[in-house]
Structure 1
């Protein structure tokens, strides 16, 4: 049973010393350190750290926000660790998933995250419904107006110009012209 530490700072100007000291004091014998924004998924040392962990090991972090990019990412990582039999300890939040209280906290996080996703989905659907009721539809506006579409269709039927030439003349892609033709039949 090994205690492995993971530390992350967001910018090159920040120092990792505080986290390193806290993780060492918590018993970490091996440390993995990233200098990357929490928003980026590219955290190579975290990947190495997660691969190094074995059943019975403990991953210790200074704070939970050092581990996950957001709540969903954190819950995903903790869930994967739990499935592998790896415990998580957060020094600042005093959370330890080795005990039932720590596991309860993460189940509460997961429930709150799922609730938040449901609320966001409901609000999005309600907003789309309200916009449709006002006659607005999402998506990009048409590349060509009705008059331009009619002219392009006539040119395509006439066959004096190739579809590529017509697309250059109107400043649209050939697939746009083919889509207009398909919708007109």
Structure 2
């Protein structure tokens, strides 16, 4: 009999060490850690993950399988349910770090089995819904970043001066002051003042493009 922690991380802000530490802090005495890295995706089943396959080979009757949450045991609702059923049939007890849930195949009472299976199904469905929501949010974030990059590319480089500074430079140039003196008064570099002086229409267009 052994207690195996199965951990899976798919992003840079997750670590196997953190999941192991969290399990141990929750009172689990871990004999072995089996971990997969970078195996994300709703279509990737537990058996398709390198260490997921190993997990099926390792677990025997009487073993305890510890996971942070049941979503670690599959890529989607069906996979999670199938994996849990398989382990329970083998006589493996599954325990979660979050909420300290325990699932085993000890009961033979039909009603208790139905309640257990319904809870597993509900949790698996919620896990997939959360994964899909996260995926949609990530895609939206990526699309937004790309759109903003295209906007920035179209607008060109953001001006190093504001509307008030542009107007001040224009006024001081009209008064006949030199570029070095204007730069000091406006808080700009001499090169910026010269760009405004030599191409005032382009300088003002840059402000308009950036809504400045």
Deviation at 1:82, TM superposition (A): 1.1
Q: RMSD over aligned Cα, in angstroms? A: 2.8
Matches within 5 A, 1:160-171: none
Q: Is the 8 A contact 1:5 1:30 kept in 2?
A: yes
* Structure ranking higher in helix proportion: 2
Deviation at 1:12, TM superposition (A): 4.8
Deviation at 1:104, TM superposition (A): 3.1
Matches within 5 A, 1:26-175: 26-35=28-37, 36-39=39-42, 40-41=44-45, 42-98=48-104, 104-110=115-121
**Could you tell me which residue of structure 2 aligns to residue 2 of structure 1?**
2
Q: Is the 8 A contact 2:73 2:84 kept in 1?
A: no
Output the CA distance in 2 between the equivalents of 1:76 and 1:68. Answer: 9
Closer/same/farther in 2, CA of residues 58 and 9 from structure 1, 3 Å limit = same
Closer/same/farther in 2, CA of residues 104 and 28 from structure 1, 3 Å limit = farther
Gaps of 5+ in 2: 126-212
Deviation at 1:71, TM superposition (A): 1.8
Deviation at 1:73, TM superposition (A): 0.9
Output the CA distance in 1 between the equivalents of 2:97 and 2:123. Answer: 22
Closer/same/farther in 2, CA of residues 32 and 106 from structure 1, 3 Å limit = same
> How does the TM-score come out when normalised to structure 2?
0.47
> How does the TM-score come out when normalised to structure 1?
0.53
Q: Is the 8 A contact 1:8 1:66 kept in 2?
A: yes
Aligned residues: 114
Aligned to 1:93, what secondary structure does the other structure show? helix
